[in-house]
């Protein structure tokens, strides 16, 4: 094993994946079972030269705009294209020219077999989704970097392109997927990477990421090995820190939807395995009082959500409208009962609400203080004659 980093991780990744675009390399991927009906129209070259550790396309829905980070030869994109249908859209982003060449060459073939074209491939780095590398390449060909001044001008140009011609615009994507690529990004760039995923998603959007994680911290010696870097080992985040990275970027509802029981590889006693994580965007915004409450069904005695709400099983907990609406969506809805006020609060009359209080909601607040109704017994819901 190398003890010094002779090649930058990103350079090693480019070199190895450029080679893998020309000839299949089994060591770059885990065994993954894809839905075979979606593979039938995809050319064998794409399947043979595409690498991954999971199938995030299983979580894509019809009509969505999908962004695939590190799209490689395009397999996940071409699968997603079939799922989202003609009303949906798929964007693949990759920084390797050889991978993009294979993907773009096969895109018209898939479109013809599918009956519509809804996939495009763009050149960029997944930790910098604002910078279109093909536009930058074209500008640098016209004005090559020859000295410090032209180098600084190139940096200014890149900054301008992020603003005026972003590779992926802010809040334009319904779901971001990725298949075993986030671990290839260098540690200092990972916070920016998760921030970029958050930026491009619409409010209410989600990320579904398959990647390799470790069960222990990866030691410095392994991090300095470019072969292990490009092989999806050295850059792997520890499993709990991988989940925390989504939380730190502003996501909520972060959960493991798949975790391989058996490690893909074990190096120096450290287990590296595939996981798929789902995370949602949309908890941002102010809190207002609408006299709503939720009841946590269980099975745990008590849970703590991402915003610090402590929910004890069976308690009628007061929440703001923002939290109330979030809980009514995935991945929370099945765990709660929802209590609306008998007399709805008009939005223009709603007052700011302090969610940090963590108080219970007395039934009289939702029914109304003057509510004194007496009703006949309701019919049995199960069709019986005795309740």
Q: Burial of 155 by CB count in 10 Å (0-12 exposed, 13-18 middle, 19+ buried)? A: exposed
Is there a cis peptide before residue 331, judged by omega within 30 degrees of 0? yes
Task: Give the SS3 label for residue 83.
Answer: helix
The residue whose two tokens read 């199938």 is 55
Coil, helix or strand for 372? coil
Prediction pTM value? 0.88
Stretch 142-155: mean pLDDT:
93
* Rounded CA Rg of the chain: 25
| In contact, 295 and 315? CB cutoff 8 Å | yes
State yes or no: pLDDT of 332 exceeds 90: yes
For the chain, give the number of residues: 387
Pairs from 372-379 (Cβ < 8 Å, separation ≥ 24): none
Q: How far is CA 260 from CA 34, 71, 133, in A?
A: 15, 22, 35
Helices (H), 167-279: 190-200, 220-223, 226-230, 239-248
Q: What is the pLDDT of residue 50?
A: 79
Q: What is the pLDDT of residues 203-241, one digit of tens each?
A: 999 999 999 999 999 998 888 887 787 677 888 999 999
pLDDT, average across residues 187-214: 96
What is the per-residue pLDDT for 10?
Answer: 58
Q: Is the pLDDT of residue 3 over 70?
A: no
Query: What is the C-alpha to C-alpha distance for residues 271 and 18, in angstroms, rounded to an integer?
Result: 27
Q: Which two tokens stand for residue 177?
A: 């997927």
Using 50, 70 and 90 to split pLDDT, how confident is the model at 373? low
What's the pLDDT at 1?
Answer: 40
Q: Taking 70 as the threshold, does the pLDDT of residue 21 lie above it?
A: no
Give the best-scoring range by mean pLDDT among 46-55, 195-204, 304-313, 340-349: 195-204
- pLDDT exceeds cutoff 60 at 284: yes
Query: 194 or 308: whose pLDDT is higher?
Result: 194
pLDDT of residue 2: 42
pLDDT band at 380 (very low <50, low <70, confident <90, very high): low
Q: What is the mean pLDDT of residues 147-158?
A: 94
pLDDT of residue 293: 95
Structure tokens at 249: 């970027």
Q: Please give the pLDDT value at position 25.
A: 47
Q: What's the whole-number average pLDDT of the chain?
A: 88
The answer on pLDDT for 23 being more than 60 is no
CA atoms of 43 and 370, how far apart (whole Å): 69
pLDDT digits (tens, 9 = 90+) for 231-268: 778 889 999 999 999 999 999 999 999 999 999 899 99
Question: In which band, very low, low, confident or very high, does the pLDDT at 382 lie, cut at 50, 70 and 90?
Answer: low
34 vs 135, residue with greater confidence? 135
Give pLDDT, residue 231. Answer: 73
pLDDT of residue 261: 93
Question: Using omega within 30 degrees of 0 as the cis cutoff, is the peptide bond preceding 299 cis?
Answer: yes
Q: Please name the residues in contact with 251: beta carbons below 8 A apart, sequence gap of 6 or more.
A: 198, 207, 279, 280, 281
Mean pLDDT of 284-306: 94
* pLDDT for the residue numbered 11: 58
Q: How far is CA 40 from the centre of its chain?
A: 27
pLDDT tens sequence across 102-133: 999 999 999 999 999 999 999 999 999 999 99
Q: Which region, left, alpha or beta, applies to residue 269 given φ > 0 means left and ψ of -120 to 50 means alpha? A: left
**Spatial contact of 270 and 214, defined as CB atoms under 8 Å apart:** yes
* Residue partners of 186: CB distance under 8 A and separation at least 6: 8, 9, 10, 235
Q: Is the pLDDT of residue 328 over 50?
A: yes
């Amino acid at each position: 094993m190398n003890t010094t980093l002779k090649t930058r991780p990103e350079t090693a990744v480019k070199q190895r994946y450029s080679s893998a675009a020309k000839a299949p390399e089994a060591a770059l991927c885990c065994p993954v079972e894809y839905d075979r009906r979606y593979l039938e129209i995809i050319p064998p070259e794409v399947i043979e030269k595409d690498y991954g550790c999971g199938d995030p396309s299983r979580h894509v829905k019809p009509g969505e705009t999908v962004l695939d980070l590190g799209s490689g030869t395009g397999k996940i994109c071409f699968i997603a294209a079939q799922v989202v249908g003609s009303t949906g859209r798929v964007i693949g982003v990759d920084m390797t020219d050889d991978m993009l060449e294979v993907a773009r060459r096969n895109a018209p073939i898939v479109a013809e077999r599918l009956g519509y074209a809804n996939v495009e491939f763009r050149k960029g780095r997944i930790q910098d989704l604002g910078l279109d590398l093909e536009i930058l390449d074209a500008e640098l060909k016209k004005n090559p970097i020859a000295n410090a001044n032209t180098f600084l001008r190139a940096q200014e140009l890149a900054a301008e392109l992020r603003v005026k011609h972003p590779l992926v615009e802010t809040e334009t994507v319904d779901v971001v997927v990725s298949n075993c690529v986030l671990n290839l990004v260098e540690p200092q760039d990972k916070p920016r990477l998760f921030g970029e995923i958050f930026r491009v998603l619409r409010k209410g959007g989600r990320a579904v990421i398959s990647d390799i994680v470790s069960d222990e911290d990866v030691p410095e010696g392994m991090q300095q090995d470019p072969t292990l870097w490009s092989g999806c080992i050295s850059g792997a985040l520890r499993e709990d820190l991988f989940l925390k990275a989504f939380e730190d970027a502003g996501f909520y509802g972060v959960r493991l939807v798949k975790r391989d029981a058996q490690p893909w590889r074990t190096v120096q006693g450290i287990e590296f395995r595939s996981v798929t994580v789902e995370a949602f965007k949309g908890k941002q915004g102010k809190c207002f009082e609408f006299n709503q409450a939720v009841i946590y069904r269980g099975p745990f005695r008590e849970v703590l959500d991402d915003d610090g709400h402590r929910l004890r099983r069976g308690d009628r907990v007061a929440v703001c409208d923002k939290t109330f609406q979030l809980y009514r969506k995935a991945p929370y809805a099945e765990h709660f009962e929802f209590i609306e006020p008998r007399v709805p609060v008009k939005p223009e009359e709603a007052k700011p609400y302090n969610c940090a209080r963590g108080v219970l909601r007395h039934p009289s607040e939702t029914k109304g203080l003057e509510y004194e109704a007496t009703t006949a017994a309701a019919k049995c819901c199960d069709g019986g004659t005795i309740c």
